[in-house]
Amino acid sequence: EIACDAHAAGKIVAADPNPGHSVDWRGMTVVKPNRTEAFLAAGIPWRDPDESPADDVDLKRAGEALLKKWETKYLLVTLGENGMMLFQENKVPQYIPTKERQVFDVSGAGDTAIALFTLALACEATPSEAAEIANHGSAVVVSKLGTATVTRDELVSSFREDPERG
């Protein structure tokens, strides 16, 4: 009910679903399941991906189904060491590959992704920019031991060190 009121007031409403809870995610601005949660919620049988996420037909099917089911503006599916996929209504899904870093602990990566995606949207970033920011932040967090945070300086440094950004 609080989420519905916030959404009706034009606020960004984000959710990181837990498949163990039967919550209605309809009307959220963004929902961020991981691949396993997305398949489960979409009713698509789980299978290990045998192709790049950009070519994963089942992942795309799950994402498109959840956009409709949850009536959400954005669906950000985290893919662990493979990065993330951004789904938006009437747009081609955008695959954001992970940023290469040494991984010490994946704890908190998904939380970092949804937090930074939401913060970036609140700061008027485009959804693609928000996903890139979320991806960089998650990469920083997994390069640390234990549940960690990312600082502004670490995030800026991650972008500066990214060879794809030239």
Residues with a known catalytic role: 111
Report d(CA 53, CA 87) in Å as an integer: 13
Report d(CA 115, CA 120) in Å as an integer: 9
Residue in this structure with the two tokens 């950000």, named with its chain if needed:
76
The side-by-side arrangement of strands in the sheet containing 94-96 is 14-15, 30-31, 74-78, 84-88, 94-96
The answer to whether the CB of 85 falls within 8 A of the CB of 39 is: no
Is 91 in a helix, a strand, or coil? coil
Report d(CA 143, CA 5) in Å as an integer: 37
Report d(CA 44, CA 38) in Å as an integer: 8
